[in-house]
Chains A and B, each alone.
Chain A
């Protein structure tokens, strides 16, 4: 019963953050709403019993990419009257609250993890699916190179 309530709460949080993304007038608020959507999807993975995927989602998307987005957008917003530090205590309270909910409730369902064994799945991924992995690496590499080229053009424009 408690797990159901937590699941409904997480789902509502995800839906509300998705609506807030489009409804917000400021870009920084939209980015923060996307961060909350990433966090709630990570909590849903926890709920499904996929701890590894949930942690990956949390570290890569919430910890890495969302921070990257927030810093980039806030750097532009800081030129105006917006002050980012207002959100820091709110963010800390939010993370502590969510952690309390996750730790104090038995969120995992009696469902099996995504692959039966991560070792077997990893070996299969590196042998059978290696062209896909190579394509993904090329895609990431080309995106990084393209971004560097665009940023260099911007730096040349400024200086």
Chain B
């Protein structure tokens, strides 16, 4: 089940963020809170998820163009 592809790992983080939104909305439904805190927290998670996808695409295109391997076990340091 282990997948060392860099992109799949990032998509997994995206999945974790989606799961956290489900937990958040379920909790605020349960607690019947009427404040804006839940919405703000939800927007924060969505923003982080969106930023992750934007940067992921940029890195994907860039790494593909440079011929980098997406196997993270072969990456030893970050190069520019």
Contacts from A to B (Cβ < 8 Å): 18, 21-23, 27, 30-31, 34, 37-38, 41, 44-45, 48-50, 53, 56-57, 60-61, 65, 68-69, 72-73, 76, 111-112, 114-117, 120-122, 124-125, 128-129, 132-133, 136, 139-140, 143-144, 146-147, 150-151, 153-154, 157-158
Contacts and interface: CB of A to CB of B under 8 A. Distances in A.
| Chain B interface size, under 10 / 10 to 19 / 20 to 34 / 35 or more | 35 or more
B39 A143 contact: no
B32 interface: yes
A118 to B, nearest CB: 8
19 contacts: A22-B3, A34-B11, A37-B18, A49-B29, A56-B46, A60-B50, A72-B60, A115-B33, A115-B36, A115-B38, A121-B34, A121-B36, A122-B36, A140-B47, A144-B54, A146-B58, A150-B58, A151-B58, A153-B62
A67 to B, nearest CB: 11
B26 A23 contact: no
Contacts of A133: 40, 43
Interface in B21-40: 21-22, 25-26, 28-29, 32-40
